[in-house]
Amino acid sequence: MEKLIFDMTPKATPSTAVMALRQIIAAPLQAAMEAQTAQSLATANLVRQIGFDDRQQPVMTDFSYQRAAGDTVQLQVPLLSLIPLTCLRIQEVNVDFNVKMNTAAYAGLANRRSTGNASYQMHMQVKAVQDELPASFTDALVIPS
């Protein structure tokens, strides 16, 4: 991830300060999006690793049970239907920040002076929830009765 640099040194200009402010605002949102993507990829990799064999066929598990009438029923179900998959979704990102920037530049023949001050505080809250599995995935796991 790009390193944030808040440059308010004497060489800084108002435009670089605005760019730094844009980075401060964008960084937590970009981090949340990257986290969401990483979680989705991890779930997809888990499904591929444990849910399918080398021929890309679903890994199946066999069950048998006896009905009340006494007959035995054999059932084969996809292993993925038995494993809880983590499908986290970032539901909400709250970013609170306070920024104070002061800059002044003096130019003249006798003196050239630039000053700059910067301070900021950031507080970030991320709320993630267990999301529903995609309908196409759950439809594929329906066991006929």
Give the number of residues written for the chain. 145
pLDDT tens-place string over residues 94-112 = 888 776 766 655 566 666 6
For residue 18, give both structure tokens. Answer: 């605005």
Strands 72-78 and 88-107: unpaired
- Chain centre distance of CA 79: 27
pLDDT of 1 reads 44
Q: Is residue 116 pLDDT above 50, yes or no?
A: yes
- Chain centre distance of CA 8: 31
Helix (H) or strand (E) holding 92: strand 88-107
What's the rounded mean pLDDT across residues 81-102? 80
Alpha helices (H) along the chain = 14-51, 135-140
pLDDT tens-place string over residues 7-58 = 445 455 556 666 677 787 788 889 988 998 999 899 999 999 999 999 999 9
The Cα 16–Cα 121 span in angstroms is 19
